[in-house]
Amino acid sequence: MRGVHDSYMFLGPWRWFDDSMLNCCEPVEKIMANGTTFSKVACLAHCNGAEVEAFHTNDSAMDNFRSYVISSSSSENFHMIVSYHRAYLKQTGSGHFSPIGGYHAGNDMVLILDVARFKYPPHWVPLALLWDAMNTVDEATGLYRGFKILAYTVVRFMLLSRPQRASSILYTLSCRYDGWDTTAMYLTKEVPQLVSSKEINNIQDILSVIFSSAPANLSYIINWVAEVRIQEGESNFVSEEERGRLSIKEEVLKQVQETELFKHMIIWLSSGADFMCNPNLDGHNSIDKIASEVCCQGAKVFRGKVGSCNATCCRTAELRSSDCDIVDSSTVISGKVIVENSECGVEMLVPYCQRDSGCSNRHHPSVVDALTILIFTLPPDTWYCLKNPKLREDFCSIVLTNNLPDLLQHEILHLRKQLHYLVADVCSSST
């Protein structure tokens, strides 16, 4: 929806959204094979910058739904997506999602802007009939359908609305690997139990308890967001707009590394923590390995192959970094990527945090930064179970978002919402 998000530059075949933007909550290949659920749609809307409010029909009423239809149809600031069963509208298919485009008060009818326009063009249906189609149970989750309001969005209907500022800037949670659901449940369900049951005397003990019991691929759930572009010439030129985005990412990275929690992470790791010896972390701190993977992903997007990643032959033939530039502290990594025997030039813009003067002290986002912000992302009540009152008070103060700079606060609150939607989806799928 154009009204929901207008902050991306699009180089693919679609004007505003394409498949490559649907992988923050579940791999695109899985969505294409199995469809998606109500909570995953809410998660996708949130990942792409929308404020989301979701309603299930068994927790709402038709009159309430009507009032939201009327409001969203006359507003440019929020929009409605409904989840319904096509059979009730005498259409082929089963569960479906579409936005609402209008309301006819005289006939109490709703305009559905069917996203499958090749199959059903925009059409009017009685609001009561649409409510009946929504008031059905999704067999995949066992939950009632509904609506979402997107304010830049609201489950079986949801509202989407415009946010007052950009969504996450540097970090995002990822579901692109096997076991993400186990990791999400570990962070939100098991960690509180661990910190309440273990003998914990200091902050180093807290970190040891969290990471020593964690799933082997814990670090895979938190990623830093890289910006890629098609390579044009050999100049590695960075525009003012790109430089501005990089500077904001670098500020977030700097703020993470200035937190007390990051300093405790460094102390804990320097004490010889076994966690960093985990083979699953191999490559997570190597900018060359990161760039190779990112450039390969970018090449697939630019070649329209994102929906068939597993079947697409892709390899990075060459990587080249620009010289260190102390003035703008930005680096361009160029990659020659072979996608199905066709070469594609891709460039990745890397944010750096300048701790001291000189190129040798410039640091790209690392596992330590990511794990630090991952701890910030956990629900605040995670730490209420710490038995030592003084330690509980001290640690809660360290992770309290109100004590952090505004930019970092916003980043963490966005990630907490992402985690909430991921856990909600896991819980609904297991019922």
Residues 154, 176: one domain? no
Domain for residue 352, yes or no? Answer: yes
Domain for residue 336, yes or no? Answer: yes
Residues 141, 230: one domain? no
Domain holding 26: CATH number?
3.90.70.30
Q: In what order do the strands lie in the sheet with 342-351?
A: 227-230, 342-351, 330-339, 314-321
- Per-residue pLDDT reduced to its tens digit, 250-284: 999 999 999 999 999 999 988 876 655 554 454 45
Residues 157, 220: one domain? no
Cα 18 to chain centroid, rounded: 16
Structural domain that includes position 359? 169-431
Cα–Cα distance measured from residue 352 to residue 361, given in angstroms and rounded to the nearest whole number: 10
Residues 121, 199: one domain? no
Residues 224, 373: one domain? yes
Instruction: Please count the structural domains in the chain.
Output: 2
- Per-residue pLDDT reduced to its tens digit, 93-140: 888 899 999 999 999 999 999 988 888 999 999 999 999 998 887 666
Residues 376, 237: one domain? yes
For the four alpha carbons of 152, 158, 159 and 164, in that order, the dihedral sign comes to negative
The pLDDT value given to residue 7:
42
Residues 180, 294: one domain? yes
The pLDDT value given to residue 324:
44
Cα–Cα distance measured from residue 370 to residue 384, given in angstroms and rounded to the nearest whole number: 23
The pLDDT value given to residue 310:
47
Residues 233, 325: one domain? yes
- Give me the residues of the chain with pLDDT under 70, please: 1-23, 27, 138-157, 162-168, 234-235, 273-285, 305-319, 322-330, 354-361, 425, 428-431
Domain for residue 2, yes or no? Answer: no
Residues 272, 198: one domain? yes
